[in-house]
Amino acid sequence: MHLVHRMRTVTKDPMPLSLRHAKIHGHDVRYRMAGKGPVILLVHGLAGSSRTWLEALKILARDHTVVAPDLLGHGESAKPVGDYSLGAYASGLRDLLVGALGIESATLVGQSLGGGVAMQLAYQHPELCERLVLVASGGLGREVSWLLRALTLPGAEYVIPPLFPRFARRAGDKVVRFFHERGVRAPHIAEMWSAYASLTETPNRDAFVRTVRAVIDPGGQTVSARDRLYLAESVPTLIVWGDRDDIIPVAHAHAAHALLPSSRLEIFEGAGHFLHVEHPQRFAELLHDFIETTKPAHRDVGTLRATLLARAR
């Protein structure tokens, strides 16, 4: 395994929150890392990046070591032609944590697509998962927004470019900057715009289409962890959702909690799909409390095998 790790500032953020650089299997992977203490891995959603966690990361880094990567195909990480399945993402995060950073276990936090990746990481590599936090997570039911389903249709890759022209990004950036400079905050809209803007670049669009089609078809989400949530019974699990989520319905949170009754369920009233952006302070405090009031799981392949065999009887 060829892993190279070095610091490289590529944004104007303060140094502790600047993007760092690791080369994993020949591909550039960018990530943010800050703080000291128990490790938290923050995994962003579809068409997102580590930037989505910045406000919450600043708070969490007071008491924790926080790692927030840009998944391959997203943000500033490489966008190779390759495998964009949940399994591939999970393996990549394992290689980042264990190989590049020397981190043996962490609290895994995933939002939207990142929730599906976090669950897959906990499934493939149980020894890495101390706790599991699912934030408006994918992979817990069939339903998902019509727009994402439409983008999986044959030929969608030829329709996307006219919908995401570069001039629109430039104009939109000016509008966002205009309101930001005047103190107008609309974090949900800003996050949606960030995702839209990223798709004005061809490599981003190609990776986006591959990723969407790996987990969604015209009928909805194609990957579900509901039939194996019982494997997380020994793992402290927190499920967090906004009751106004218009991308993945809050009903998925309640269904997952019913299948995993030992989990903790928190619903943010009035929040949408990006609740960690809309309410970063509340989200960070909730996550900190969850970590402080639970003991990390200690699992290995043997434990996973025993659980599987017990359910098969």
Give the active site residues: 112, 245, 273
> In what helix (H) or strand (E) does residue 40 lie, and over which residues does it extend?
strand 39-43
The CA distance from 25 to 2, in Å, is 6
Instruction: Name the H helices within the chain.
Output: 54-60, 86-94, 113-124, 146-150, 156-163, 166-181, 187-198, 202-215, 251-259, 275-278, 280-292, 301-312
The sign of the dihedral angle between the CA atoms of 275, 279, 282, 283 is positive
Nearest Cα to Cα of residue 111 among 190, 199, 33, 52 = 52
Cβ–Cβ < 8 Å for 224, 141: yes
3 in Cβ contact with 24 (< 8 Å):
yes
3-state secondary structure of 244: coil
Contacts of 71 (CB under 8 A, 6+ apart): 43, 44, 77, 89, 92, 114, 117
Pick from 122, 310, 79: which is nearest to 232 by CA? 122
Which residues, including other chains, have CB under 8 Å from residue 135's CB and lie 6 or more apart? 109, 110, 111, 112, 114, 115, 240, 241, 275, 276, 283
Contact status, residue 135 vs residue 276, Cβ threshold 8 Å:
yes
Read off the DSSP letter of residue 91: H
